[in-house]
């Protein structure tokens, strides 16, 4: 990619244009060339600028992949930069190096043993792994049949990959598992399965499968797709997370994902919207996606066990100011301005800068001690910086003072499927297709057809 200086140097007038010419045709040709060069330079500058996007994603959608012979695998990082992990494998297994070549072994099982990465080499116990007398920095362990792996006391279905972190004595641990197996752990972690209606569980399964497939496509060139918690993650509960209700929800929707214009999109979800879900452009994205455009929801606030159907919070402004300055100072989008306006004194006030049509706050304005000296911040980023327990949702009102009073409804970012709303719809007799159509308008359910694994 050319530098900015090279781009602008490329627009220098050509010699024949610099020379005075009275020929109208020559002038026309030369002017045309200058215009073309200027347009090209502008386009290159635009491309250069797009490479430095802020944290707000442009959400590159992915065409629906297929056909599928087997269920797609997802890669879940379960330990990151660990000093050591305790690893056990039930039953026979195979070993593969970082290039995918099989490493011959005679072991039939692996009892619990510590795995470390030192001197550029993985080691099991005190034994460095050096097949062909070469240090092994990446290893994949594949149980045969339907074996499981145990990582520091937690059981996972699938294969495990150990990745040494160059220049350190730490390693990453990544589990590769069937997307349908992964969903069982997600349902166990995301919703109260025992209390949830079957249709609400089916809706969650389809949304979670879509979300997992989206990020597995998006992060295909990375060492893993997502983690168990945090950014780009769904809550995943390790262990054999199957019961009759989970099996029914996953198996009865097997392979089903949501598409918009035949594209896979991130099917976000949250606990409770408080009356209306919000367009993803207000929280996550730069582009509008019809399927994430927001929808009215009258069900979540009717749920008796939804403790966030309505809430009030009084928060001391000094706490708000300290947390915003601390949590957002390194944010690539607002961090530079935040550091500038809080360099000498704390923030002076927090104001509502923008609301969605349904009344949800979408942007706040944080003012510094000087004037001018303010920065607009997405409301959900303010919510996370203050703390989700202190500010459960941006579907609220705000009254300033020495203590700021927030009154609202809902829990979470408010985009996509409302989990308490899905439960309410299911109780009203609506099926999972109708539930998904409510929260992901103009989306379509498409089935990834793949065969069931052979019984052994």
Rounded Cα distance between 303 and 141, Å, is 45
User: Using CB atoms within 10 A of its CB, is residue 165 exposed (0-12), middle (13-18) or buried (19+)?
Assistant: middle
Distances (CA, A) of 401 to 155, 324, 391, 406, 453: 50, 17, 16, 11, 61
344-390, pLDDT tens digit by residue? 899 999 999 999 999 999 999 999 987 779 999 999 999 999 999 99
Closest CA to 403 of 321, 343, 310: 321
Give the confidence band of 20 by pLDDT, cuts at 50, 70, 90: very low
- Both tokens of 95, joined, read 């070993």
Whether 267 and 419 have beta carbons less than 8 Å apart is answered as: no
Bridge partners of residue 103, in order along the sequence: 95
Distances (CA, A) of 229 to 13, 80, 170, 233, 447: 55, 12, 20, 5, 27
pLDDT for residue 207 is more than 80: yes
- Both tokens of 372, joined, read 């001018």
- Both tokens of 413, joined, read 């970012």
pLDDT for residue 195 is more than 60: yes
pLDDT for residue 45 is more than 70: no
Parallel, antiparallel, or unpaired: how do β-strands 256-260 and 159-164 relate? unpaired
Helix (H, G, I), strand (E, B) or coil at 141: strand
Give the confidence band of 57 by pLDDT, cuts at 50, 70, 90: low
Helix (H, G, I), strand (E, B) or coil at 156: strand
Rounded Cα distance between 300 and 304, Å, is 9
The secondary structure of residue 133, as a DSSP letter, is G
Whether 380 and 371 have beta carbons less than 8 Å apart is answered as: no
Rounded Cα distance between 396 and 390, Å, is 12
pLDDT for residue 201 is more than 50: yes
Helix axis angle, 244-252 relative to 179-190, nearest 10°? 130
Whether 360 and 383 have beta carbons less than 8 Å apart is answered as: no
401-416, pLDDT tens digit by residue? 999 999 999 999 999 9
What's residue 144's pLDDT? 84
What's the pTM value of the predicted model, to 2 decimals? 0.84
Helix (H, G, I), strand (E, B) or coil at 19: coil
Peptide bond preceding 142 in cis form (omega within 30 of 0): no
What's residue 27's pLDDT? 39
Q: In this structure, is the dihedral angle defined by the CA atoms of residues 302, 280, 388 and 361, taken in order, positive or negative?
A: negative
Q: For residue 135, is it left (φ>0), alpha (ψ between -120 and 50) or beta?
A: beta
Bridge partners of residue 444, in order along the sequence: 259
Helix (H, G, I), strand (E, B) or coil at 174: strand
Q: How many CB atoms lie within 10 A of CB 312?
A: 9
Bridge partners of residue 151, in order along the sequence: 87, 154
Average pLDDT on 89-104 reads 90
Q: Which residues of 149-159 are buried (b: 16+ CB within 10 A; e: fewer)?
A: bbbbeeebbbb
């Amino acid at each position: 990619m050319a530098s900015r200086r090279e781009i602008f140097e490329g627009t220098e007038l050509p010699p024949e244009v610099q020379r005075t010419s009275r020929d109208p045709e020559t002038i026309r040709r030369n002017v045309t060339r200058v215009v073309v060069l200027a347009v090209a330079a502008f386009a290159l500058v635009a491309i250069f600028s797009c490479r430095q996007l802020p944290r707000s994603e442009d959400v590159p959608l992915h065409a629906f992949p297929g056909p599928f012979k087997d269920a797609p695998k997802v890669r879940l990082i379960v330990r990151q930069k660990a000093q050591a992990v305790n690893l056990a494998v039930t039953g026979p297994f195979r070993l593969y190096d970082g290039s995918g070549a099989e490493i011959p072994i005679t072991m039939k099982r692996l009892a619990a043993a510590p795995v470390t990465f030192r001197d550029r080499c993985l080691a099991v116990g005190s034994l460095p792994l050096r097949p062909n007398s070469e240090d092994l920095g990446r290893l994949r362990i594949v149980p045969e049949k339907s074996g499981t792996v145990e990582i520091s006391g937690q059981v996972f279905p699938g294969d495990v990959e150990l990745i040494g972190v160059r220049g350190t004595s730490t390693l990453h641990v990544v589990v590769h598992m069937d997307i349908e197996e992964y969903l069982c752990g997600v349902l166990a972690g995301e919703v109260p399965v025992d209390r949830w209606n079957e249709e609400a569980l089916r809706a969650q399964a389809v949304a979670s499968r879509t979300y997992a497939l989206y990020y597995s496509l998006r992060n295909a060139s990375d060492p893993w797709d997502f983690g168990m918690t945090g950014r780009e993650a769904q809550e995943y509960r390790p262990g054999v997370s199957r019961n009759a209700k989970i099996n029914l929800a996953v198996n009865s929707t097997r392979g089903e994902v949501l598409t918009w214009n035949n594209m896979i999109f991130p099917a976000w979800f949250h606990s409770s919207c408080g009356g209306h879900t919000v367009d993803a452009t207000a929280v996550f994205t730069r582009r509008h996606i019809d399927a994430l455009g927001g929808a009215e929801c009258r069900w979540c606030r009717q749920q008796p066990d939804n403790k966030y159907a309505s809430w009030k919070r009084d928060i001391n402004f000094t706490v708000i100011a300290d947390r915003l300055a601390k949590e957002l100072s390194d944010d690539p989008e607002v961090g530079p301005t935040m550091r500038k306006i809080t360099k000498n004194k704390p923030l002076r006030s927090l104001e509502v800068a923008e609301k969605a049509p349904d009344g949800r706050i979408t942007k706040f304005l944080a003012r510094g001690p000087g004037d001018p000296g303010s920065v607009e911040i997405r409301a959900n980023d303010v919510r996370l910086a203050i703390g989700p327990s202190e500010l459960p949702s941006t579907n609220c009102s705000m009254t300033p003072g020495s203590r700021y009073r927030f009154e609202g409804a809902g829990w979470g970012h408010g985009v996509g499927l409302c989990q308490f709303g899905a439960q309410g719809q299911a109780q009203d007799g609506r099926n999972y297709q109708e539930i998904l159509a409510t929260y992901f308008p103009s989306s379509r359910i498409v089935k990834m057809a793949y065969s069931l694994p052979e019984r052994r």
